[in-house]
Amino acid sequence: MERYKLFLVEDDEVICQSLTRQLEGWGYKVCPVQRFDRVLEEFEQLHPDLVLMDVSLPFFNGYHWCAQIRQQSRLPILFLSSAGDDMNLVMAINMGADDFVAKPFRIEVLVAKIQALLRRAYSFGAEPQTLRAGNLVLDLSEAAVLVNGVRQNLSKNEYGILRILMERKGRTVSREEIIQRLWQSESFIDDNTLSVNVARLRKTLQSLGAGDCITTRKGMGYQLEDAR
């Protein structure tokens, strides 16, 4: 299973290294920020599943970057700060944060909050509720697709096609197999209708910023790769 990616924006090197080591021990992929004057650019390149944001940072504070990220994404943002008073909590929430953890904190508390935010955002639970392909997440419980936290509901046929392709990610799936699968799910479509629905699905994914991750294999079928 692909690990959830956390973007860590923390300027204390000791805390950054410690959190990176501990969170990776919990199974997360942690990406610490490299340039504090280019936090938004790094966010756009990384496509993380969740942001851990300190309040006091060089150049601009965490509230500034939270507001910038919120202009293009609804992914979870969790603030980390030693300034744990009520005013900072209110400011963080007003800027679009999902939760706030005051330093010092136990790693178990932080992980519990991260798990809760990821569960809320991506609907995963004891049983697999999502399929992933890079920064593309398919919510199986609600027939919706998420890219960088932005959600879009799919039609029944679009959902069926995307699910089949994501279950077979990296492999070519024949048009006949897709039609057969949809027939069995009482959503029969003929060959021409399949082309129309694939085109609609591609348009939806492109509008969300997932790029053209579905490739047509001429004379064979379709193949889905990780969205970037």
pLDDT attached to residue 186: 46
Cα atoms in the 13 Å half-sphere on the side-chain side of 58: 11
Low-confidence ranges of the chain (pLDDT < 50): 1, 124-128, 186
**Rounded Cα–Cα distance for residues 74 and 100 (Å):** 16
79-115 residue pLDDT tens: 987 765 566 667 777 777 888 888 888 888 899 889 8
Q: Per the structure block, which two tokens stand in for 125?
A: 């639970």
Going from the C-alpha of 162 to that of each of 58, 60, 137, 170, 202, the distances in angstroms are: 42, 40, 10, 13, 10
Share above pLDDT 70 across residues of the chain, in percent, rounded to a whole number: 88
175-187 residue pLDDT tens: 888 888 876 654 5
Which of these, 166, 131, 162, 136, lies nearest to 149 by C-alpha position? 136
pTM summary value: 0.56
CB contact at 8 A, 29 and 6 = yes
- Residue ranges of domains in the chain, CATH in brackets: 5-122 (3.40.50.2300), 130-224 (1.10.10.10)
Cβ partners under 8 Å of residue 87, min gap 6? none
pLDDT attached to residue 107: 87
